[in-house]
């Protein structure tokens, strides 16, 4: 049976919850529709997070991202909505999502949103300031 897009995000138990470590994902095939024109918008999503008790399961993330393919959404709105859904599902210590949308009308748009658990401070050796705020675009 073929996979279908889904808004359901699955998680699994963090195999090392006592340690702060960063999980980095690049999702180069994000698409949604421009709410004004109905034309497709393409983006690369870069997700960095420090899990607490749960990690995001990759296949469910793939199906979740796929679920936006036929939805109209402004870049700012969809980036914030994705972060909110990921935070709700996994309750991380820290999460940053950068969405770099392909050029539209001569303009590249990058939206960066962040979540930090209250009172959490990164452990030694975990430098969040050095995280890229957006994917590298070889065309620029």
Q: Is 41 a catalytic residue?
A: yes
Domains in the chain and their CATH numbers? 21-117 (3.30.1130.10)
Region for 120 from its dihedrals, namely left if φ exceeds 0, alpha if ψ lies in -120 to 50, beta otherwise: beta
Q: In this predicted model, what pLDDT tens digit does every residue of 34-48 receive, in sequence order?
A: 999 999 999 999 999
The answer on pLDDT for 139 being more than 70 is: no
pLDDT class for 140, splitting at 50, 70, 90? very low
Q: What is residue 2's predicted lDDT score, i.e. its pLDDT?
A: 66
Catalytic choice (32, 41, 48, 55): 41
**Which residues in 41-60 are b (16+ Cβ under 10 Å) and which e?**
bebbbbbbbbbbebbbbeeb
Tens-digit pLDDT profile for residues 55-64: 999 999 999 9
Collect all residues with Cβ–Cβ distance below 8 Å to 19 and sequence separation of at least 6. 123
Q: pLDDT tens digits for 85-95?
A: 999 999 999 99
Q: Which residue has the higher pLDDT, 131 or 102?
A: 102
Q: What is the pLDDT of residues 3-46, one digit of tens each?
A: 899 999 999 999 999 999 999 999 999 999 999 999 999 999 99
pTM of the predicted model over 0.95: no
Token pair listed for 3: 């996979």
Task: Extract the tokens encoding 91.
Answer: 């309750």
3-state helix, strand, coil in the chain (%, to 5): 20, 35, 45
85 annotated active-site: no
What's the pLDDT score for residue 122? 87
């Amino acid at each position: 049976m073929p996979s279908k897009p889904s808004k359901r995000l699955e998680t699994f138990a963090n195999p090392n919850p006592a340690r702060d470590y960063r999980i980095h994902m690049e999702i180069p095939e994000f698409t949604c529709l421009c709410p004004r024109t109905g034309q497709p918008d393409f983006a690369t999503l870069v997700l960095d997070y420090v899990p607490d008790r749960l990690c995001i399961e990759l296949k469910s993330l793939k199906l979740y991202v796929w679920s936006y393919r036929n939805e109209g959404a402004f870049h700012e709105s969809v980036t914030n909505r994705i972060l909110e859904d990921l935070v709700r599902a996994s309750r991380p210590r820290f999460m940053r999502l950068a969405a770099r949308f392909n050029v539209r009308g001569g303009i590249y748009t990058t939206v960066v949103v962040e979540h930090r658990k209250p009172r959490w401070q990164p452990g030694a050796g975990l430098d969040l300031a050095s995280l890229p705020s957006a994917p590298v675009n070889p065309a620029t």
